[in-house]
Chains A and B, each alone.
Chain A
């Protein structure tokens, strides 16, 4: 077996070994149980609450929880917007960048607050160090923490009975940052820095190169932003090309830690679910469903990309190897692994240019995002999305056997079904409507970088990324126009809040119900049959919704590539 495949297997093995204990740790943190970090962090946490006047034992109804979450996000959007407009007058701006254009600033504020981190701007040409640190890095922590808090609230809906409350948003938010994101981010950032990820507040440096005159080299506080960009599945890079940039991802080791970082918390949450349900098998079943979908996508993408491009082969490129948009230090297999991981997790960081992938590789990435980022998914919201699919699965199964559907010991009734369908369909419908708008309006087509079916893929990718809160791009599309800044911002808002709000509503409704004891008529979750049905539901819903547009984009391009057509 080639070392590249040993590498993939090793990385996923390490993920599994870390995800199980991390999941149990998360369950303990949010249940208020003692963890190894408690002696160190508990005093800080208590101090925090007393300073802010938070009563940590005061629980919230789902509506209060949701209101707090929304208020916090509105405040965040305003703060990040104002910071970008004021950066010219503020310190830590060695390159003297002026205010960010209003539409870009609105888009960026919404993008970072919704955990999308779609970047219409070029980092090293637009944002001051203060904006990167106080606006973007802070939101990388907070948006991740909001997602984790929401997922924990949903889990509480399943484990509680006959109560109107689902937890305290402020407490969940604080614990996510303090116990989970911050300790991991410090470790990740320092390892990154040791490998060469730049971390300085000094100005850009000018080098006298041996053969090509002066080169101005952008630097900045990158390692700190880089670490949380993966752990919080944000993906917002410091530099324009994100983790393809050698300062943001200098070695194969940092590359693998970035893949591990984005998968870690998202893959731990199913185990946290199992631990909190006191039924680890159910958590394992959700994890297994995600892993099956992940490996299937990875397999297709690797097969597609390692086959190479026949057009390049004809031109005399050895093996037709498609290294366009990829870095020498990574090569094909690690870049595909990164791309698969970043699109399933809604991270959106990239270590190569997705626009230049072969058509079927691009198809896999589109599918991962369009189904709603549920294969591991964004921290918290990925689990939520998968629970929507699980509700749908149980509903379909319930119809087939003529029983009231149940999930994790709770009866599912019309109100839960409605909310799950809203959560699944609102982002998809928004995606297709906005993409249609872009295809029929000159303002949409004007931004294209590629012609033919690949152009359609560029547009679909942009809105799949926005509505899935992913943030990666077929970056040839010039998205920094008023049209794309406004439409993708709308997509990001729908993608985020049409997931979280229905989920909290479900949590509120389930928490009030009693727990149904497991009986002979219960369809067991901790069973391979459930995994098969859940995976099937995800694929069928994805295929039914997006098959036509996928045929016109990547699949058509694949066929025309085989016929030697260029555009």
Chain B
């Protein structure tokens, strides 16, 4: 290759790079435009407002620790919505096992379980994202007795509330059965308000 050819190829290289950058930059703008205009709810983060106040996102888990609410899974980042993370502790980690031991004990105490009752894995093991919005149906049902007692509601009513909110497998095949904790607790608040009236 002579000098002129090298210069020409170098020019092509820079121009092509610039042009591809522009085109590729158009792609996220295009997707943003289409998404914000045809599916604004999802595009903006599936945000839930109550009386005009933003209370969270349907998809982003948050911390519920009061006894009158259904509790979320443990989170390695304390449900920090702008810094996701897991514990990254391995299967032989002494630290993990100690944490799990304490959590199991706490779940048993809070929910009036026997000292050797098994507890659902999701309720004592931290999620990958630290922002898991869901718990398993078993974990939700296990908390019914406690929540009903604290709220002064009948157990059967609270149980029905949970059962109505169990999301099945997507298309009957994909993923796991689950309960969205934020949506369940919002419904719980509504139920409690309704019964007081």
Could you tell me if B84 and A329 are in contact, using CB atoms closer than 8 angstroms?
no
Determine the distance from Cα of A205 to Cα of B43 in the docked complex, in whole angstroms: 13
Q: Is the CB of B89 within 8 A of A355?
A: yes
Q: Is A34 an interface residue (CB 8 A)?
A: no
The residue from B23, B73, B82, B118 contacting A124, defined by CB atoms under 8 A apart: B82
> Which 6 pairs of residues, A with B, have the shortest CB-CB distance?
A252-B175, A476-B88, A244-B128, A252-B174, A224-B28, A454-B90
| A72 part of interface (Cβ distance < 8 Å) | yes
Assembled-state Cα–Cα distance A225/B24 (Å): 11
- Expressed in whole angstroms, the Cα–Cα distance for A90 and B31 within the complex equals 21
Residue of B whose beta carbon sits closest to that of A473: B88
Per-position binary interface string of chain A over residues 245-263, scored 1 when its CB falls under 8 Å from any chain B CB and 0 otherwise:
1110011110110000000
Chain A: CB-nearest residue to B81: A217
- In the assembled complex, A442 has its CB within 8 A of some CB on chain B: no
Given the known inter-chain contacts A134-B21, A318-B118, A334-B175, please indicate yes or no for A210 contacting B82, CB distance below 8 A: no
A185 within 8 A of B: yes
A137 within 8 A of B: yes
Query: Which residue in A218, A317, A334, A457 is a CB contact (below 8 Å) of B82?
Result: A218
In the docked arrangement, what's the CA distance between A474 and B90, Å?
A: 9
Q: Which residues of B contact A10 (CB under 8 A)?
A: 173
Greatest chain B CB density within 10 A among A72, A216, A320, A326 is at A326
A sample of 12 inter-chain contacts (CB < 8 A) reads A133-B25, A198-B43, A198-B44, A217-B45, A219-B44, A223-B31, A223-B35, A244-B128, A353-B86, A356-B91, A451-B94, A453-B92
How many A residues have CB within 8 A of the partner chain? Answer: 124
Stretch of A17-25, A46-54, A102-110, A378-386 that contacts chain B:
A46-54
A261 to B37, CA, bound (A): 25
Residues of B within 8 A of A351 (CB): 128
- Closest Cβ neighbor of A141 among chain B residues: B24
Asked if A215 meets B20 with Cβ closer than 8 Å, knowing A200-B45, A252-B175, A565-B92, the reply is no
Let me know if B45 and A138 touch, CB within 8 A: no
Q: Judging by beta carbons under 8 Å apart, are A356 and B87 in contact?
A: yes
CB of A282 within 8 Å of the partner chain: no
Question: Could you list which residues of chain B lie within 8 angstroms of chain A, going by C-beta atoms?
Answer: 1, 8-17, 19-21, 23-25, 27-28, 30-32, 34-36, 39, 42-47, 53-66, 69, 73, 79-94, 96-97, 100-101, 104, 108, 116-122, 124-136, 138, 169-176, 178, 182, 185-186, 189
Q: Is the CB of A7 within 8 A of B173?
A: yes
List residues of chain B with CB within 8 A of the CB of A566. 92-94, 97
B42: which of A137, A141, A197, A210 is its contact (CB, 8 Å)? A197
Point out the residues of chain B lying under 8 angstroms from A71, CB to CB. Answer: 9-10, 13
Residues of B within 8 A of A539 (CB): none
Q: Does A522 contact B (CB under 8 A)?
A: no
Stretch from A156-164, A188-196, A412-420 contacting the other chain: A188-196
Q: Is the CB of B90 within 8 A of A53?
A: no
Assuming the contacts A475-B86, A476-B89, asked whether A7 and B131 have C-beta atoms less than 8 A apart, the reply is: no
Closest-by-CB residue of A relative to B14 is A75
Contact A327 B90, CB 8 Å, known A194-B42, A223-B31:
no
Instruction: Please name all residues of chain A whose beta carbon is closer than 8 Å to the beta carbon of B117 when the two chains form the complex.
Output: 316
| A215-B116 CB under 8 A given contacts A64-B1, A68-B9, A567-B92 | no
Nearest neighbor of A249 in chain B, beta-carbon distance:
B129
A441 located at the interface, meaning its Cβ lies under 8 Å from any Cβ of chain B in the complex:
no
What's the nearest-Cβ distance from chain B to residue A299, in Å?
20
